[in-house]
Amino acid sequence: MHIVYHLGAHCTDEDRLVRCLLKNRAVLADQGIIVPSPTRYRKLMRDAAVQLRGSTASVENQALILDQIMEESEAERLVLSWDSFLSFPAWVIRGSLYAAAGERIRAFTRIFPDIGTEFCMAIRNPATFVPALQSKVQEKGHADVLNGVDPMSLRWSTAIQEIISRNEGVPMTVWCDEETPLIWPEVLQAVSGHAPGTELVDTDEVVAMIMSEIGFARMQTYCTEHPPESVEQRRRVVTAFLERFARPEKVEMEIDIPGWTHEVVAEMTYRYLEDVEVIRNMPGVTLIEA
């Protein structure tokens, strides 16, 4: 068995990925890929990690936990998805992005220490990630996440390096949330590991969210009449229709944080793009790109 941990991050996926895979669980199960409902494992694994206190689970406990996660007796690949594997939202920014991510993920992987592991996650421009996170946290009644934080210092590469260093030899796949509409099929395949050519249903949700209904319908008709023959061709088609039919309110975020001028946002964006370059060259990391 191989376990794939989809780590989020917060304010990127919002469970769309696991919902899509759940809709296709029968097709995936035929390939030995098991996608359990998150209600079966999120609280269970959190409690198990707390109880272990950094030690590894016994063979007996591993079997008991797997029995609660899976209905199936065996699997080639088990997909577990939860953005709070990394951190709960209120603690995402404490000096740096996901400062405790490596330690937390190590605690979860020690539940199944002898099973092969893989990590997958999306990253997002801090200039839009921080406002979205702040809104999410404040809705829950928590304090401002930016208290005492220098937004210019936030780097995803630091968190990723911490995860890798605490989980030596575990491969990691990363993608930019901003590019998700163009690379969604490749993201689904990277997480689930399904065979090339596998037909999945409801794989256009991400594009449909940011495109007008008329534009989305026209794109579907065009793709039916002219099926894309390659990944690159599909991306060109999606890009062309987004240029004409994207919903401005879905692709343009108004940032309303005191002191965040256009110049500040531009500088944060530039540093984010530099950080993506760092991640692209990190050993053990695969970056899915449009």
Q: Is residue 244 assigned to a domain?
A: no
The reported pLDDT for the residue numbered 149 is 83
The reported pLDDT for the residue numbered 21 is 97
The reported pLDDT for the residue numbered 37 is 97
Per the structure, the complete domain to which residue 129 belongs is given by 2-199+263-288
Q: Is residue 12 assigned to a domain?
A: yes
Structure tokens at 270: 């530039």
Counting the structural domains of the chain, the total is 1
The reported pLDDT for the residue numbered 96 is 87
pLDDT band at 287 (very low <50, low <70, confident <90, very high): very high
Alpha-carbon gap, residue 173 to 287, rounded angstroms = 6
Classified as helix, coil or strand, 260 is coil
Q: Is residue 281 assigned to a domain?
A: yes
The pLDDT tens digits of the residues spanning 105-161 come to 999 999 999 999 999 999 999 999 999 999 888 887 766 777 778 889 999 999 999
Could you tell me where the DSSP H helices lie in 153-259?
A: 156-166, 180-192, 205-210, 213-225, 231-245, 248-251
Q: Is residue 65 assigned to a domain?
A: yes
The reported pLDDT for the residue numbered 207 is 94
The reported pLDDT for the residue numbered 198 is 95
What average pLDDT does the segment 90-117 reach?
93
pTM for the full model? 0.95
pLDDT > 90 fraction of the chain, expressed in percent and rounded: 84
Cα torsion 99, 100, 105, 110: sign: positive
The reported pLDDT for the residue numbered 252 is 83
The reported pLDDT for the residue numbered 250 is 85
The reported pLDDT for the residue numbered 144 is 75
Q: Is residue 56 assigned to a domain?
A: yes
Q: Is residue 181 assigned to a domain?
A: yes
Residue 22's H or E segment, with its range, is helix 16-23
Neighbours of 14 (CB within 10 A): 12
pLDDT band at 256 (very low <50, low <70, confident <90, very high): confident
The reported pLDDT for the residue numbered 75 is 93
The reported pLDDT for the residue numbered 87 is 94
Q: Is residue 205 assigned to a domain?
A: no
By CB neighbour count within 10 A (0-12 exposed, 13-18 middle, 19+ buried), where does 55 fall?
Answer: exposed
> Are 1 and 78 a contacting pair, CB within 8 Å?
yes
What CATH number did the domain enclosing 167 receive? 3.40.50
Which amino acid, residue 130?
V
Q: Is residue 79 assigned to a domain?
A: yes
Residue-wise DSSP of 114-159: TSEEEEEEEE--HHHHHHHHHHHHHHTTPPPTTTT--GGG--HHHH
The pLDDT tens digits of the residues spanning 30-84 come to 999 999 999 999 999 999 999 999 899 999 999 999 999 999 988 999 999 999 9
